[in-house]
């Protein structure tokens, strides 16, 4: 592959993806909205196409001559479920259908989410062969995007990657996980027993996994659009180390040089109430917020852990650094860029 179209390049994950794709010697073309910040992408040498997932004409221009499409654009927050579904579901359907109509269709890599699969059973990471049971509207919208892509799998090669919690320098949303530990030595933890586990992946390692999926990943079978899980062509991309959410605060504190971190138990009912209040404020102000009733529902649902075994075995994926080192890199980035 020589030329890659990247959607969502102006976002956190997209920024890391653009850089890693360029490091692999690929020509990167980014589809961005007219209001997006293009400066960093242009510094990285990416070419820019202004357009929108709802504008099929701009999508047709964007995919001209590309070998691979990496679809990382999506909505993490919205005022309504319909708006989120329009971006994550219908937007994906528009892009994949335009790709399928090309005489020589490109490889299509969809960056989905563990939220599309749902929570794991205690002590058992979720795997690609497990049926999908989203617990949030965000998860339902990401699953809708997966199904939309799979529906065209007989006309173009489609691969789906599902990251868990993604972190790294430049992440505005993830910064709220680090800031209370830096300022006060406090780590709020959902639940009263500190037993919930999570999987994580650094954005740079996720980008490397996406490159592998584009180059030599298996492809989705069209029949999977009618199934509750993918038989092939779907990969969880995560660090092999799962941690308790409470332990994550300890690891972040250690990266900051803090010896003592106070784990603040947060009852599920309180989290749900705060999420609901935030959703109400968002509607009153007309501005969507990441922490909402929907996100609170995810946070209290259970264990968000997945197994990277398939991508390890089929594609040889492995993070380039340990989870502890990646957290240290992230803390250093926030510190050096004066975010704290």
User: What is the per-residue DSSP string for 245-290?
Assistant: HHHHHHHHHHHHT-S--EEEEE-HHHHHHHHHHHHHHHHHHT---S
330, 148 contact by CB (below 8 A): no
Is 60 found in the same domain as 16? yes
R_g (Cα) of the chain, nearest Å: 19
User: Is 332 part of a structural domain of the chain?
Assistant: no
In this predicted model, what pLDDT tens digit does every residue of 199-212 receive, in sequence order?
A: 999 999 999 999 99
The candidate with the shortest Cα–Cα distance to 31, out of 80, 1, 75, 64, is 64
pLDDT at res. 192: 59
Is 218 found in the same domain as 86? yes
Q: Are strands 197-198 and 243-244 parallel, antiparallel or unpaired?
A: antiparallel
| DSSP per-residue codes, 129-164 | TSPP---SHHHHHHHHHHHHHHTTTTTS-EEEEE-S
Is 227 found in the same domain as 113? yes
Is 11 found in the same domain as 69? yes
User: Is 152 part of a structural domain of the chain?
Assistant: yes
The arithmetic mean of pLDDT across residues 309-326, rounded, is 97
The domain in which residue 51 lies consists of: 3-169+198-240+305-320
181, 253 contact by CB (below 8 A): yes
Is 190 found in the same domain as 106? no
User: Is 340 part of a structural domain of the chain?
Assistant: no
User: Is 325 part of a structural domain of the chain?
Assistant: no
In this predicted model, what pLDDT tens digit does every residue of 34-44 receive, in sequence order?
A: 888 878 888 88
Is 264 found in the same domain as 147? no
Tell me the CATH number at 52. 3.40.50.720
Is 85 found in the same domain as 130? yes
User: Is 338 part of a structural domain of the chain?
Assistant: no
- The total domain count for the chain is 2
User: Is 190 part of a structural domain of the chain?
Assistant: yes
In this predicted model, what pLDDT tens digit does every residue of 270-280 receive, in sequence order?
A: 889 998 998 99
Instruction: Look up the pTM and report it.
Output: 0.94
Is 45 found in the same domain as 184? no
User: Is 335 part of a structural domain of the chain?
Assistant: no
In this predicted model, what pLDDT tens digit does every residue of 16-60 receive, in sequence order?
A: 999 999 999 999 999 998 888 878 888 888 899 999 999 999 999
In this predicted model, what pLDDT tens digit does every residue of 128-171 receive, in sequence order?
A: 999 999 999 999 999 999 999 999 999 999 999 999 999 999 99
User: Is 189 part of a structural domain of the chain?
Assistant: yes
pLDDT over 90 at 193, yes or no: no
């Amino acid at each position: 592959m020589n030329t890659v179209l990247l959607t969502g390049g102006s976002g956190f994950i997209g920024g890391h993806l653009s850089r890693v794709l360029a490091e692999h010697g690929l020509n990167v073309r980014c589809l961005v909205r007219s209001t997006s910040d293009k400066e960093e992408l242009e510094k990285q040498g990416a070419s820019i196409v202004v357009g929108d997932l709802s504008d099929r004409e701009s999508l047709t221009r964007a995919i001209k001559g590309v070998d691979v499409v990496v679809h990382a654009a999506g909505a993490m927050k919205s005022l309504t479920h319909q708006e989120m579904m329009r971006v994550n579901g219908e937007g994906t359907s528009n892009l994949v259908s335009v790709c399928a109509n090309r005489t020589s269709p490109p490889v299509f890599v969809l960056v989905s989410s563990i939220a599309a699969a749902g929570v794991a059973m205690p002590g058992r990471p979720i795997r690609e062969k497990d049926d999908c049971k989203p617990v949030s509207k965000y998860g339902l919208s990401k699953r809708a995007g997966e199904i939309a892509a799979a529906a065209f799998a007989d006309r173009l090669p489609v691969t789906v990657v599902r990251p868990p919690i993604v972190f790294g320098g430049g992440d505005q949303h993830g910064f709220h996980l680090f800031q209370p530990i830096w300022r006060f030595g406090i780590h709020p933890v959902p639940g009263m027993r500190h037993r919930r586990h999570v999987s994580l992946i650094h954005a740079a390692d996720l980008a490397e996994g996406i490159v592998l999926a584009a180059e030599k990943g298996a492809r989705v079978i069209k029949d999977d659009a009618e199934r509750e899980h993918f038989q092939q062509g779907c990969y969880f991309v995560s660090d092999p180390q799962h941690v308790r959410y409470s332990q994550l605060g300890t690891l972040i504190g250690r990266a900051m040089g803090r010896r003592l971190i106070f784990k603040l138990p947060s009852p599920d009912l309180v989290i749900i109430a705060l999420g609901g209040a935030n959703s109400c404020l968002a509607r009153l102000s007309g501005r969507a917020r990441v922490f909402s009733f929907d996100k609170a529902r995810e946070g209290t649902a259970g264990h968000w852990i997945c197994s990277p075994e398939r991508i390890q075995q089929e594609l040889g994926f492995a993070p380039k650094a340990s989870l502890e080192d990646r957290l240290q890199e992230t803390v250093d980035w926030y510190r050096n860029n004066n975010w704290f």
